């Protein structure tokens, strides 16, 4: 993935547009309502998120996700994924960051 873009400018507009799209099924916070969960799960698998986390915490790697830790809001969770995106140079688009964060929320953090 070599595609470059300015994450800050783009993610702001996506963030602002999210609440305009109304309900889908599951109990997800407004920030993740419009997220593509299938895409998010696919990106998590493709980018070895869990295998790297496994090396640190063992098991299936999910112990890395600490819902009661410092990440305690949907916005913070999305911000953490954005940070990984930048640090690991993954080249995610803003809607991909949102999708990944939404899957982590559904499966681990469960913020409302």
C-alpha 54/C-alpha 62 separation (Å) is 8
Whole-angstrom distance, CA of residue 88 vs CA of residue 44: 13
CB of 2 to ligand HEC, least distance (A): 17
* Token digits of residue 50: 């869990």
- Encoded one letter per residue, x for contact with ligand HEC by CB under 6 A and - for no contact, window 18-57 reads --------------------------x--xxx--xx--x-
Q: Which is nearer to ligand HEC, 35 or 81 (CB)?
A: 81
Q: Using CB under 6 A as the criterion, which residues of the chain lie in contact with ligand HEC when the complex forms?
A: 44, 47-49, 52-53, 56, 64-66, 69, 71, 80-81, 84, 88, 90, 100, 104
């Amino acid at each position: 993935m070599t595609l470059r873009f300015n994450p800050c400018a783009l993610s702001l507009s996506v963030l602002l547009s999210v609440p305009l799209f109304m309900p889908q099924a599951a109990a997800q916070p407004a920030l993740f309502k419009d997220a593509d969960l299938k895409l998010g799960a696919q990106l998590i698998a493709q980018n070895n998120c869990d295998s790297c986390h496994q090396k640190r915490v063992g098991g299936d790697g999910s112990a890395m996700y600490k819902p009661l830790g410092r990440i305690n809001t949907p916005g913070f969770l999305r911000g953490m994924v954005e940070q990984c995106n930048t640090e690991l140079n993954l080249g995610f688009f803003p809607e991909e960051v949102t999708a990944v964060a939404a899957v982590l929320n559904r499966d681990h953090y469960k913020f409302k």
